[in-house]
Amino acid sequence: MTLNHRFSVTAGLTLALLMTSGLSCTTAHKKPDSALPGPAASATKPSELQNLGINLDLQKRTLSNGLTVLMVEDHTVPVISYQSWFKVGSVDERPGITGIAHLFEHLMFKGTPKYGAKEFFLQLEARGASVNAYTTRDYTVYHETFTPNLTDRVIDMESDRMAHLTLNEEAFKTERQVVFEERRLRTDNSPGGRVQEALWALAYHTHPYSWPVIGYPEDLGRMTVEDLKKFFATYYQPGNATIVIVGDFKTDLMFEKIKKAYGGIAGHKRSKRDIPEEKEQNEERRLVLYDQVATERLSLAYHASGAENDDSYALDVLANVLFAGTNSRGHQKLVEEMQIASDVSGVAYTPTYPGLFMMTATMKGKHVATEAEARLEALVRDIQLKGVTEEEIRFAVRQLTVQVVDSVRTAHGLGTLIGTVQMVFDDPQRFAEDLAKYLKVTSDDVKRVANQYLLPNHRSVVTLKPGSLPGVPAPAAKEGAE
C-alpha cells in the first residue's frame, strides 16, 4: 500500500535529465496505426519530445468501452511491466465503508470462475513474475513485471478478473482478517502510523482524505459482500481503467492482444467524482497522543494545493530546501546547530485534491516537541520574509532530477510515472509541460507559496509523548562472555 506519490514534478524532471543526456529511452517515434478499427489511437507529439531531445515513444490508445492503453516499447532488457490502474481510492469511499478500496487490493487475488483463488501466484509468480498491488487515496494499481513469454497469460488473467471477479463471503472474511493484521502492523502498533492517521483526521473534516486508506476497523467489520459487489461494478470497469505497459514488446501486436482480451468487457465513462470540498481551516488544531516511545515526536501539516495547481512546483522546491538532505535548513537548524532533534523531515504532498505540506521531527532526549515546532516556524517565517537563494533552488532541482532518473531505471519505475500522471491529469503528455513549469520556479515563487500556504491557522499539529506504562525492572545479569 502506498500512501504518498510524487507526480507532476518528477515526471517533468525525467525529461529534463534525458534532454541533457541525450538518452534514448525507447525506440524512435512511430505514427499511430490509423488502420486500427474502432478504438482511438494517438501518440506523443513528436515536436514536443524532439524539442527536448528525447526519443520516448509513448503510445496512447483507447478502446470503444473506454479502456485507456498507454504503451512504451523498449527492448533494452527482456522484461515487461504491466500495470492496471483504476481511478478509485479511499477518496471514493464514504463514512461507513472506509477501507473498501484497499480491501479490493486483496480481493482481486481471490480468483474468478476461470482462474481460482491461488492462480495468480501459481500462474505468474511461480514462473518468476513479480506480482503485487497498492492502493492510494486517489487510485489503485495492480502490477506485474515478467519476461515476455508470460505476456499472453498476464493479459488473459488481468482482463478476466476485471470482468469476472468472484466475490464471496468466505474469501471476504479471511481477507478482512488479513487486513486487520495489516492495520495492527502499520498503524495500531506503529507510533509513526498512529500519528499519521491522527494528523490526516485532524487536518480534514469533510473531505475523504480525512480517513486512512486502510480504513477504520468498525467500518471493515460491518461491510457486506453486497457492498463489495456494488463497489466493484462501479469502479472496476474499462471506462475507469488505464493499462500501462512498458518494456520488451511490439506495440501494435500488444494492442491487438489487449483489444481482443478487453474489448468484450462492458464499460462506460465514469461520471465526475463528487467529492465534498474541505472548508478552509481558520484555526490551528492540536492533538496529543501517548505511546511507549523513547522521546517526543512532532508531526504537523499545513493545507496545500493539489497537483493541478501550479503552486505545487514551488511547494516541492520549498520542501526540498527545508528538508532534503543534511545540508537542508531544517536539518542544519534542529539536528546540527541546536541538537534538539535526532531527525527532521518534510514533504509537499500534492495529490489530485488539495493536499498537505507535512513536517515531522523526532526529539532528542528530554527535548520537547514544542521546541522543534518553534524552530520550524522560525525557519518558515524566514523564507516568508526573505525567500530562498538561487543556489538552494538549483540544488533542489538537481536532487529531484537524480531521484527521477533512479525511478525510471526500470520498466516498472517508468510505468509508475506514466500511470500516475495519467491518473492525476488524465493526460500522460503532461511530462513536457511539467518540466517547463518546474524549471521556471523562482525564489519569489517559493516565498509566495510559503506565505500563501504555511499559515498558523491552516496548521494541524499532532504531538506524540512518551506514555507512562510501567516497565519491568532490568535483571542484574552478567552481560557477556568470550
Partner 1 sequence: MTNFFKSALFTAVLLSVPGSLASEWVRAAEPLPGDDAVPIMKLPLPKIETLPNGLQIAWFLDDRLPVIDLALLIQSGNRDDPRGKSGTAELLGSVLERGAGGLTARQIAKAIEGLGASRYSSADEDSFSVGMHGLAPDAPILLEYISKIALHPDFIPAEVTREKLDLVERWNHIGDSADPLASIAFYRKVAAGTSYGRGGVASLREFEKVKREDLIAFHKKHFTPKNALLMVVGRVNSEEFKKRIETLFGDWKGEAPVRDYRPYTDNRIVPPAGSAKAKQAAKEILIVNRPGLTQSQVRLGFKSISVRSPERYPLTVANALLGEYFNSRLNAVIRDQLGLTYGIESGFAYSQDLTRFGISSATQTENTGKVIAKTLEILKAVKGGDISEEEVKLSKQYLVGGYPLSVSTLGAVATRWATGYLFKLGPEYLNEFSSKIGAVTRPEVVESVAKNFDLDHLTIVVAGDAEAIKKSLKASGFTNLREIPISALK
Site for partner 1 in 6-65 (CB under 8 A): 17, 20-21, 23
**Going by DSSP bridges, is the β-strand pair 285-291/459-466 parallel, antiparallel, or unpaired?**
parallel
Query: Rounded distance, CA 106 to CA 268, Å?
Result: 25
Q: Which of 29, 134, 166, 180 binds partner 1 (CB under 8 A)?
A: 180
Nearer to partner 1, 75 or 279 (CB): 75
Please tell me what DSSP assigns to residue 440: T
Radius of gyration of the chain (CA): 24
Q: Is 2 in the site for partner 1 (CB under 8 A)?
A: no
CA 395 to chain centre: 24
Terminal Cα distance for the chain, rounded: 45
Stretch near partner 1 under the rule CB under 8 A, chosen from 56-64, 238-246, 446-454, 465-473 = 465-473
Rounded to whole angstroms, how far apart are CA atoms 163 and 157? 10
Of residues 346 through 375, those in contact with partner 1 by CB under 8 A are 362, 364-365
Q: How far is the CB of 402 from partner 1 (least distance, A)?
A: 4
Q: Does 79 bind partner 1 (CB under 8 A)?
A: yes
Given a contact cutoff of 8 angstroms between Cβ atoms, the answer to whether 378 and 456 are in contact is: no
Identity of the residue, 123 or 384, whose beta carbon is nearer to partner 1 in the bound complex: 123
Asked if 149 interacts with partner 1 (CB under 8 A), we say: yes
Task: Quote the least distance from Cβ 358 to partner 1, whole Å.
Answer: 20
Residue 294 interacts with partner 1 (CB under 8 A): yes or no: yes
Q: State the DSSP code for 270.
A: P
Task: Kindly state whether residue 123 participates in binding partner 1, applying the rule CB under 8 A.
Answer: yes
With residue 300 as reference, give the H or E element that holds it: strand 297-303
470 binds partner 1 (CB under 8 A): yes
Residues whose CB is less than 8 angstroms from the CB of residue 233 and which lie 6 or more positions away in sequence, other chains included: none
Calpha distance 18→407 (Å, rounded)? 13
Q: What is the DSSP code (8-state) at residue 402?
A: H
User: If binding is defined by CB under 8 A, does position 482 make contact with partner 1?
Assistant: yes
Q: Among residues 173, 230, 250, 260, which is the contact residue for partner 1, using CB under 8 A? A: 173
Interface with partner 1, residue 126, by CB under 8 A: yes
Q: Does 395 bind partner 1 (CB under 8 A)?
A: yes
443 binds partner 1 (CB under 8 A): no
CA dihedral sign, ordered 193, 198, 200, 203: negative
> Contact at 8 Å (CB) between 388 and 449?
no
Q: Which of residues 188-217 bind partner 1 (CB under 8 A)?
A: 188-191
Nearer to partner 1, 410 or 452 (CB): 410
Candidates 172-180, 259-267, 426-434, 446-454; binding stretch for partner 1 (CB under 8 A):
172-180
